[in-house]
Amino acid sequence: MLGSGDPITDAIGLLRPRVLLDPGLRTAGAWALRFDQSSHVRLGIVARGTCRLTLDGHKPVLLEEGDFYLLGNPPPYILGSTLSAPPRPAKPVWDSARDGVVRIGPEDEEDTYLCGGHFSFADTNAPVLAQALPLLVLVRAADPRGKLLAHLCELLLAETRTAAAGSALVLNHLAQVLFVHMLRAHAEGAERPTGWLGALNDDAIGAALRAMHADAAHPWTLQELAGISRMSRSAFAASFKNQVGTTPLDYLIQWRMSLARDALSRGTRTISELAFAIGYKSESAFSTAFRRVVGCSPKQFRETSTHAVNDLPDHGH
């Protein structure tokens, strides 16, 4: 049986986040940088001063000293000292980094200091699972979680400066812990989160999601899932679709295929073993469903993924 029953644990386990730190940004005076649309999940910390974050199509957000923010696959956005400062492209500025620092303005002055980086994920399931992430997670300095996140970031920074044995493993585990705490902060925030993450906190729909994750191989029916949620079939189906964005049985298929992609890319099971492990009565039934969802056969996917794992791209800027 695959899955843990905790959807966030399952998602993090499949995404296997790694953190790649950006140069620190030290600024003085008026400035603004425009960042291109990103397929990454970006993390930022305002270590000193304030700045404004403006995501395309959204209202500006004032970030203050000690605030943390997480951006899930963001559209183009601007970071700046004021809303009136003309933005310039961020990439050439980032490319000018020296000794891990980007400077804007006089070197002997500093109004703002930003630290950050981005999470890269196992390519196999990143496009599917990352769609479920919120666009913006904001943890204010006054939030009790702020101290914990600051401590985690200090550990990350310290670990990047060492060449000690096992450093890569420590970095990846710290990245996972940091990622989970940011998602928790969002899920437990004053404003109820929408989408998949919000549905996990719903007593009814969350119970059905956890049941599917606990036993993906079970031949779940709409009636069973509605019973777990203590709702009628029609009310459950409507509420699930409204919160998660897809039907319960479509979600189950997508989750099974996420498990399948991960197992195939790592070669942990034969195709026949995998078929039964995620709820298909035959290898051919699984192959038909996999081809319909993924666009190729399990065998083709496994061969392509094995080559890709052996030649992973650099996810930096």
Q: What's the number of domains the chain is made of? A: 2
Q: Which amino acid is at 307?
A: H
Is 119 or 228 the better-scoring residue by pLDDT? 228
Q: What is the mean pLDDT of residues 173-190?
A: 75
- pLDDT-derived band at 315 (thresholds 50, 70, 90) equals very low
Residues 302, 174 share a domain: no
Residues 63, 175 share a domain: yes
Question: What are 96's two structure tokens?
Answer: 């000018």
Residues 74, 174 share a domain: yes
Q: Alpha-carbon distance 24 to 102, whole Å?
A: 6
Residue 128 maps to a domain: no
* pTM given for the model: 0.69
Structural domain harbouring 85: 18-120+134-187
- pLDDT-derived band at 306 (thresholds 50, 70, 90) equals low
Domain CATH for 34: 2.60.120.280
pLDDT digits (tens, 9 = 90+) for 204-214: 998 999 899 88
Residues 298, 232 share a domain: yes
Whose CA is closest to 28, among 83, 81, 76, 71? Answer: 81
Q: Alpha-carbon distance 187 to 92, whole Å?
A: 36
